[in-house]
Chain A
Amino acid sequence: MQQTRSVEVGTGLFALLGISALFFLTTQTTGGDRFSADDTYEVEAWFDNVGSLKSRAPVAMSGVTIGRVTSVTFDAQRLQAKVVFEIDSKYGAIPDDSDASILTSGLLGSQYIGLQAGGSEDNLENGSEIFFVQDAIVLENLIGKFLVSSGSGDDE
């Protein structure tokens, strides 16, 4: 009897340890950019180039995550990329002339959407579109421009 008890205690401890390890893995190693809100509204924006922006990427304002990208698709008619993202309804008072730019966190980090507040009286609401956008910066284009401009400088 005493032996079965110790077996049961050992098994119980083992199971608890295993389950708490699983819990640790699922909660502590993931979700650095986790965003969850019960109530959100969707906003869309059109970009010429989204770089490597993916769905689930964070949407930040002043560096604070207030939403996330729900879809990135290419529209064959407008020949532009359509990015739809949702914003927590808590932040309902964002001017509708705010601008959205695709930024990179850190030098080699993942890309996210940064919002910068505008001055309009009207606010963004479900389904509205952001007109002021800034594309992702592509390093090759940047270097190309730099080379062209420095080349033309020599001619003068």
Chain B
Amino acid sequence: MTSVLRDIYNNVFEFVRTFGAFQLFFLRLVRHSPRMLLRRPGLVIKQVYNTGALSLVIIMVCGFFVGGVLALQGYANLARFNAEDSVGTVVALALIKELGPVITALLFAGRAGTALSSEIGLMKATDQLSAMEMMAVNPVRRVLVPRFVGGVISMPLLVAVFTCIGLFGADVVAVYLLSVDVGAFWQQMQLSVDIKDIQEGIFKSIVFGIVASLLAVWEGYNAIPTAEGVGRATTRTVVITAIAVLILDFMITAVML
């Protein structure tokens, strides 16, 4: 009986400890971020390229088809009420407020987050991080901060691209395939989308960018320095990011509505 209680106590204690360490880690990254951005912009640009520019293809292809399928589903259901013209509204609100930020964050975790955590994990496994410390280079500042900042910068831009391409995909499907009137499509959208909706989307994309990059960097930095450990860290990055993003999405929406 006591051993069971002790196990529970140990697990809870370990969870609280990890959570605290995670927050301290976040504060450390944030503290170093402005200096890195000013002193070594080249390193940050490299990471914006790695996490952002290289994710563009998957973001654009997925965005196009997500927008297209939303238009198809929206049309099929709205047609029952003779409200096909509102398909633009439905697609735009869904993309701008919810699906744009969320799906981009999930794709970002899969495409860029895994790359970040496996890269950092492998650096740790091959003692590159220790070697840096030997040379009096702070690995947090030199390796982790640029990757974190790069991810945070990329994410809102990726969300904007995703949403735009999604609208374009919806336009193609609705106007060319289902012959919704193009004027009605855009006008209905413009009448009902408010600047507040876009602000909500941008806010979400910034939060998700911070969360996704932070988790990827954290998992990589705390990976067990073996082949198996790096693999596990990569998997955990995707799983935890997906959970965190979806829970946060619910909370932000509940607060902002």
Residue numbers of A with Cβ under 8 A of B are 4, 7-8, 10-11, 13-15, 17-19, 21-22, 24-26, 28-33, 108-110
Contact = CB atoms under 8 A, between A and B. Distances in A.
A104 to B, nearest CB: 13
Nearest to A24: B164
A110 B191 CA distance: 9
Contact of A14 (B156, B157, B189, B195): B157
B191 A25 contact: no
B153 to A, nearest CB: 8
Interface of B: 42, 45-46, 48-49, 52-53, 56, 83, 92, 96, 154, 156-158, 160-161, 163-164, 167, 186-187, 189-195, 197-198, 201-202
Contacts of B42: 4
Contacts, number: 82
Contacts of A30: 190, 193-195, 197-198
Nearest to A16: B157
Nearest to B53: A14
A31 B195 contact: yes
Given A11-B45, A30-B193, 13 more contacts: A14-B154, A18-B158, A19-B160, A21-B163, A22-B202, A25-B160, A28-B186, A29-B96, A29-B190, A29-B198, A32-B189, A32-B190, A110-B192
Given A7-B46, A10-B49, A29-B198, A17 B161 contact: yes
B164 A32 contact: no
A22 B191 contact: no
Which 7 residue pairs are nearest across A and B when measured between Cβ atoms? A18-B157, A32-B190, A21-B160, A14-B53, A32-B191, A21-B164, A22-B160
A10 B156 CA distance: 17
